[in-house]
């Protein structure tokens, strides 16, 4: 699914955030529960994150241009990174609100109505989170997956708050309210660090997941049985897009046409195994020593110093 089509799910997340903010804020004003206030604050973060997701999905949908020849898919990592940072800010806000209540507990009012409103808000978040997770995984959109993870954190947060309020109503132990709020903050911090870490890894051009790398090597193995050799296998992720490159060594007596047809088959096999992948292949002759100089990932580091200092204007033989 193109990124332009994914923006409608960001709009869905925005609508859900606005609705849940209204519901949870009403529940807080009715009950005075700091737990419900922490829940409402996290929903406010959801709204900001959803707006950011919409902006980044819109940018990611742009086609490659002269300045971004590999496309704009990495914009999604900025969205998930900002969302992770916002989650951490929300957690600190919850801690700042809960600590005074921990020292001076206050009674909770109209528990039944407050719980009912919060349950409705949680069901809204749960429904939207499941939709975003399904679409995000199917389209390999880290933005939608991060938004889904954040909403699911909100759902579990709400569940913890509801349990705490129910226990306060049953036992009269008012300290449970701020204690649960602090536990919620700890859970939010864990989720936020996870999103930030994943975004950093994406911006650092992390290789494809192990199962996809295994799929590529299995394809190489099939062709190796035909007497071919591969090296310099590279891969990286860029949002929902994947990139794979490799060098293919064949007998030097092959014609250009035969080598071209081989590369076409290899690239087609990889595209069938990995979704949304761009494949780059480089053909080299097996019997040329220069073909083996780039067996490592960094050919520049493998070359002798004198070779690096050679003049660049010497014409090459074709």
What are the phi and psi torsion angles at 13 (to 5°)?
-65, -40
Question: Which are the contacts of 294, defined by CB distance < 8 A and separation ≥ 6?
Answer: 231, 232, 247, 302
Q: What local confidence, expressed as pLDDT, does residue 23 receive? A: 86
Confidence at 127, pLDDT banded by 50, 70, 90: very high
The lowest-confidence range among 58-62, 130-134, 300-304 is 300-304
Nearest 5 degrees, angle CA 116-CA 109-CA 123?
Answer: 20
Between the alpha carbon of residue 98 and those of residues 157, 174, 226, the distances in Å are: 14, 12, 67
Q: What local confidence, expressed as pLDDT, does residue 301 receive? A: 55
Nearest 5 degrees, angle CA 121-CA 122-CA 123?
Answer: 90
Mean pLDDT of 166-176: 73
Both tokens assigned to 31: 């009950």
**Contact between residue 294 and residue 247 where contact means Cβ atoms under 8 Å apart:** yes
Answer yes or no: CATH 3.30.470.20 is held by domain 3-203.
Answer: no
Between the alpha carbon of residue 19 and those of residues 126, 131, 135, 149, the distances in Å are: 13, 17, 21, 18
Q: What local confidence, expressed as pLDDT, does residue 318 receive? A: 33
**Contact between residue 248 and residue 230 where contact means Cβ atoms under 8 Å apart:** yes
Between the alpha carbon of residue 62 and those of residues 65, 205, 238, 246, the distances in Å are: 9, 20, 14, 27
**pLDDT at residue 32 above 70?**
yes
Mean pLDDT of 52-70: 81
Confidence at 212, pLDDT banded by 50, 70, 90: very high
**Residue in the structure block whose two tokens are 């070359």:** 303
**pLDDT at residue 89 above 60?**
yes
276 Rama class: left (phi>0) / alpha (psi -120 to 50) / beta: left
Q: Tell me how crowded residue 172 is: count the other CB atoms within 10 A of its CB.
A: 10
Q: What local confidence, expressed as pLDDT, does residue 273 receive? A: 92
Are the folds of 3-203 and 210-308 the same? no
Question: May I ask the CATH architecture of the domain 210-308?
Answer: 2-Layer Sandwich (3.30)
Both tokens assigned to 222: 């099939």
Mean pLDDT of 11-34: 83
How is the chain split into domains, by residue range? 3-203, 210-308
Confidence at 70, pLDDT banded by 50, 70, 90: confident
Query: Among the ranges 169-173, 194-198, 248-252, 272-276, which has the highest mean pLDDT value?
Result: 248-252
Both tokens assigned to 155: 């759902």
Query: Among the ranges 37-51, 185-199, 202-216, 272-286, which has the highest mean pLDDT value?
Result: 272-286
Q: What are 281-318's pLDDT values in tens digits?
A: 999 999 888 888 877 766 555 555 444 344 444 343 33
The lowest-confidence range among 31-35, 65-69, 77-81, 148-152 is 31-35
Q: What local confidence, expressed as pLDDT, does residue 107 receive? A: 61
pTM reported for the whole predicted model: 0.58
Q: What local confidence, expressed as pLDDT, does residue 115 receive? A: 72
**pLDDT at residue 170 above 90?**
no
**pLDDT at residue 177 above 60?**
yes
Name the residue with higher pLDDT: 137 or 39.
Answer: 137
């Amino acid at each position: 699914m193109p990124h332009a089509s994914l923006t409608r799910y960001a709009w869905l997340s925005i609508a859900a955030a606005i609705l849940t903010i209204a519901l949870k804020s009403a529940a807080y004003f009715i009950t005075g529960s700091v737990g419900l206030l922490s829940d409402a604050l996290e929903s406010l973060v959801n709204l900001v994150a959803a707006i950011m997701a919409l902006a980044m999905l819109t940018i990611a949908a742009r086609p490659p241009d002269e300045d971004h020849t590999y496309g704009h898919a990495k914009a999604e990592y900025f969205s998930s990174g900002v969302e992770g940072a916002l989650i951490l800010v929300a957690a600190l806000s919850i801690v700042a609100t809960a600590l005074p209540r921990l020292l001076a507990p206050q009674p909770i009012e109209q528990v039944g109505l407050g719980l009912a409103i919060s349950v409705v808000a949680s069901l809204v978040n749960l429904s939207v989170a499941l939709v975003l997770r399904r679409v995000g995984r199917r389209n390999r959109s880290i933005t939608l997956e991060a938004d889904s993870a954040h909403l699911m954190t909100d759902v579990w947060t709400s569940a913890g708050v509801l349990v705490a309020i129910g226990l306060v109503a049953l036992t009269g132990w008012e300290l449970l309210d701020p204690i649960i709020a602090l536990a919620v903050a700890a859970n939010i911090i864990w989720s936020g660090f996870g999103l930030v870490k994943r975004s950093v890894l994406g911006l650092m051009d992390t290789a494809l997941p192990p199962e996809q790398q295994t799929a590529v090597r299995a394809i190489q193995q099939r062709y190796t049985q035909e007497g071919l050799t591969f090296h310099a296998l590279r891969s990286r992720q860029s949002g929902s897009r994947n990139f794979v490159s490799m060098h293919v060594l064949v007998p030097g007596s092959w014609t250009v046409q035969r080598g071209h047809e081989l590369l076409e088959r290899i690239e087609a096999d990889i595209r069938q195994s990995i979704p949304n992948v761009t494949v780059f292949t480089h053909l080299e002759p097996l019997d040329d020593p220069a073909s083996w100089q780039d067996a490592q990932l960094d050919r520049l580091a493998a070359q002798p110093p004198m070779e690096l200092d050679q003049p660049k204007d010497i014409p090459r033989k074709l």
